A and B are shown apart, each in its own frame.
Chain A
Amino acid sequence: MDEVGVLERVAALSTRSIKRESKRAALDLIVAMIDLTTLEGKDTAGKIAQMSAKAIRPDPLDSSVPSVAAVCIYPNMVKYAVQATEGTDVRVVSVATYFPSGLADIDLKVEEARRVVAEGADEVDMVIDRGAFLSGDYFKVFDEIRRVKEACGDVHLKVILETGELATLDDVRRASMLAMGAGADFIKTSTGKIQPAATLPVALVMLEAIRDFHDATGVMVGMKPAGGIRTSKDAIKYLVVLNETLGERWMTPDWFRFGASTLLNDVLMQIRWLETGRYASPDYFTQG
């Protein structure tokens, strides 16, 4: 990878000017792509129920706004989320494999993945062992992903690379290829616990890796930037990079997600602005 070139490409794509109907289409798509996330030590059944309600009906005053893609939560919260989203299209995503560090025995990780699947998670977001990766033990990283995927069965597996700890774009690409080769359905940037979380240059490198992997194998893999994307403007930049790197086939929640929490309300405010020509006070948008 050439970092200067990657930064330039991202800067060029960031100047795209997205207006009117293409902006509205983008904002709706962003909502539908959000994995609405809470990953805190203080999460409770009540918090999950409230966030799920927001996920199902993000803007109670505007039925044209779609539901988000999923709620993303800790393993112990899966049962509450399953309950709260029952009968809706909102999916339940559980982090697993000893999120966020991933520093546990592989049998424990597999067991955790198996358990969240049994409890009804629709998707599993696992973390790779960055220590193993950085020390050059790629086989261990590969094998762990393979075994977790086996435990997930048909349930979608997203593999978190924690790019903020990998640091170089060469390693981001190497980890992306490794995860896809091992059976990832999605590759995801970050846990949200490490800074920097998602960045546009990293996302571009991962999307290019997905494109090369698809060229070589015919297999489509999805992508999820997570952490640090807080405004509609930022999210639209990711869509532009997606649109001009992988193209139309990936422009769906099936193949692209945003891991985010505060982003949702900013998008809702922008939609309200497009509809009414005025910015509404944040008081009019529920805190989830």
Chain B
Amino acid sequence: MATKLPATSHEPLLWDYATSKESTDIVEIDSKYGLFIDGKFRAPKSRKYFPTINPANEEHLADVAEAGPRDIDLAVSAARRAYTDVWGPMSGAERAKYLFRIARMVQERSRELAVLETLDGGKPIKEARDVDLPLVAGHFFYYAGWADKLEYAFPGVSPKPLGVAGQVIPWNFPLMMLAWKVAPALATGNTVVLKPAETTSLTALMFAQIASEAGLPPGVLNIVTGAGRTGAAIVGHDDVDKIAFTGSTAVGKMIQSQLAGTSKRLTLELGGKAAHVVFEDAPLDQAIEGVINGIFFNQGHVCCAGSRLLVQENIHDRFVDKLKRRLATLRVGDPLDKNTDVGAINSRAQLERITELVEVGLSEGAEMFQPDCVLPDRGFYFRPTLFTNVAQSHRIAQEEIFGPVLSILSFRTPDEAVEKANNTPYGLSAGVWTSKGSRILWMADRLKAGVVWANTYNKFDPTSPFGGYKESGFGREGGRHGLLAYMDWGEG
């Protein structure tokens, strides 16, 4: 028809999404926070405070108390009293009521907690909202359910609590790591002294308020803020019965040697350098999503991040092309924007570490790809990064970068994939992508990792145990296994 325009007449729409910022009005941040000891917030005996900032714009958020040895003494003795007088003797059914109440209150205040998590830590609001907070509430619900069923968890034994648990957690999933530690400890009848990471104290302090409003007896949960020295004071305290630590392998080794020859129990959840193995018969577009999620979720600040991609050589080039194209669609920037996929790096120190290792990768001869995205002027950001031409001997294939940096290697046969995947001091997690069910089982048998995900990645659930092999630590968190670490089974 002469009157009609030709078929290709329209200009394409370059469609960028307008900013859709989550409001921060819901959160009230105090200018100064004390330590939560024996059911009350109190000024530190150390009289010291340190600032906590928003890594997305480097703005000061609040001053947080630095707990010194005397503060740790107070916290541990409050926990001991609460254990002896109240929490230890209490029936499991009664303890469960508190935990269920806390779980519900976390759910009710989840938007507030999610916004605060993003403000203090830099993770995208959509992750704090859709991943962290539901899992936090989920963990409390799950372990609340175990509190009155411990005798049935492992038939034939009458488990007893250990006493006072000292817990030190990292900055990548501040509230979630708190939930992983606090929920099983309290459910099994222990009391807690917990130290959040120094860059992300605020949600732990808000959680302390929630616990207090839930009527949790004083001393059952104590939150002491501070950095490495505070953590060391907890670990070294004589009246602590159990230490649970999540963090770097270097610090984990120090803790283990510090505890050698003592009666303290220990569980460690440390670093990782997970292999993500993609076979030629994998559903490629879904594998791409899995790989993206594996390494760019939470800016790669994930101990189980799939940071070593092993692609079968005959699909390597095609897969890498797809990956590069997908990288270009990642939205990097303001974590409070609901459309942000990759937020801020947690701290300047971490940004420097990532930058340094990326420079090492370049000097080792690996080929780098970064998409052409604009980063905010202020705050700590790092472009999503791929390295190709990586050799197993490169530092970027061996060391944990803990940032949005993926090293890509290739393999030819399943045996070679297993050999390369296991060729690391770590062993926390691994991923396998293939359409063959039998190959998934074959791989899962051979991969030395605490978690093996098949045709998916970074899936967490309160019912599922998590933990490492080798230098990734020992002990399991989550599931029925998670109870073991907090109970005396009569073996000594």
Instruction: Name A's B-contacting residues (CB within 8 A).
Output: 1-2, 4-6, 8-9, 15-23, 25-26, 29, 32, 82, 86-89, 91-92, 120, 122, 156, 208, 215, 239, 243-244, 247-254
Contacts and interface: CB of A to CB of B under 8 A. Distances in A.
Contacts of B260: none
A4 B455 contact: yes
B11 A252 contact: yes
A251 B290 contact: no
Interface of B: 1, 3-5, 7-20, 126, 130, 283, 285-287, 289-290, 321, 329, 338-339, 435, 455-456
A5 B455 contact: yes
B15 A251 contact: yes
Contact of B17 (A2, A5, A22, A88): A22
B3 A8 contact: no
Nearest to B3: A87
A2 B286 contact: yes
Contacts of B15: 22, 25-26, 29, 239, 243, 248, 251
Contact of B12 (A4, A9, A249): A249
Given A156-B7, A243-B15, 11 more contacts: A4-B455, A5-B283, A5-B285, A5-B456, A6-B286, A8-B456, A21-B18, A122-B4, A247-B329, A248-B12, A252-B10
Which 5 A-B pairs give the minimum distances between C-beta atoms?
A5-B286, A17-B20, A2-B283, A252-B10, A17-B338
Contacts of B1: 82, 86, 92, 120, 122
Q: Which of B12, B16, B19, B456 has the most CB of A within 10 A?
A: B12
A128 B130 CA distance: 40
B339 A17 contact: yes
A254 B455 contact: no
A98 B239 CA distance: 83
Contact of A89 (B5, B289, B329): B5
Q: Interface on chain B toward A: helix, strand, loop, or mixed SS? A: loop
Contacts of B18: 18-23
B296 to A, nearest CB: 12
A16 B17 contact: yes
B236 to A, nearest CB: 44
A108 to B, nearest CB: 26
Given A248-B12, A251-B13, A4 B126 contact: no
A111 B82 CA distance: 87
Contacts of A19: 17-20
A86 B3 CA distance: 7
Nearest to A207: B285
A243 B11 CA distance: 14
Given A25-B13, A87-B3, A208-B285, A254 B339 contact: no
A15 B14 CA distance: 20
Contacts of B4: 89, 91, 122
B437 to A, nearest CB: 12
A254 B9 contact: yes
25 contacts: A1-B286, A2-B286, A4-B286, A4-B455, A5-B287, A9-B286, A17-B20, A18-B20, A19-B17, A20-B18, A22-B18, A23-B18, A32-B10, A86-B1, A87-B3, A91-B4, A92-B1, A122-B1, A244-B329, A248-B12, A248-B15, A250-B12, A252-B10, A254-B7, A254-B9
Contacts of B10: 32, 252-254
Nearest to B330: A244
A248 B15 CA distance: 7
Contacts of B130: 15
Nearest to B13: A251
B12 A5 contact: no
B111 to A, nearest CB: 15
A249 B12 CA distance: 6
A248 B17 contact: no
Nearest to B282: A2
Nearest to A7: B286
B19 to A, nearest CB: 8
Nearest to A1: B283
Nearest to A204: B285
Contacts of A156: 7
A153 B19 CA distance: 45
Contacts of B9: 254
A252 B13 contact: yes
Given A15-B126, A91-B4, A254-B7, A248 B14 contact: yes
Contacts of B7: 156, 254
Contacts of B285: 5, 208
Nearest to A205: B285
B289 A9 contact: yes
